[in-house]
Amino acid sequence: MEVQNLRPSYWKFLLRLTKGRFALMNRKVLDVFGTEASRNFKDFTPKLDPRYTVVPPELPLELS
């Protein structure tokens, strides 16, 4: 979800609707598709539960 393409009121609505969980989405994985979804969240990396991930979160990924 590209926050920069949403109206601020709709973004606030989504945050209220999901109890803030929508802001915790891992947007860096969407950047591969050219969405620039992480543009406003440059330094944010969600804390993922390693039991449910394929690659450890601290391991850097090279997306090509």
Structure confidence at residue 16 as a pLDDT band (50, 70, 90): very high
The tokens for 36 are 């620039």
Split at pLDDT 50, 70, 90, the class of 21 is: confident
Q: Is 59 among the domain residues?
A: no
| Per-residue pLDDT reduced to its tens digit, 28-57 | 777 788 888 788 777 877 887 878 877 766
- Any domain includes 33: yes
Q: Any idea which residue has 């990396």 for tokens?
A: 45
Helix (H, G, I), strand (E, B) or coil at 47: coil
Q: In this structure, are residues 28 and 62 in contact, taking their beta carbons and an 8 Å threshold?
A: no
The answer as to whether 29 is a domain residue is yes
The CA-atom distances, in angstroms, between 2 and each of 22, 29, 52, 59 are: 11, 12, 25, 25
Q: How many structural domains are present in the chain? A: 1
Amino acid identity, position 9: S
Considering the domain boundaries, does residue 58 fall inside one?
no
Q: Is residue 22 part of a domain?
A: yes
Identify the domain containing residue 25 by its residue range.
Answer: 3-52
Q: Output the pLDDT for position 13.
A: 93
Residue 62 placed within a domain:
no
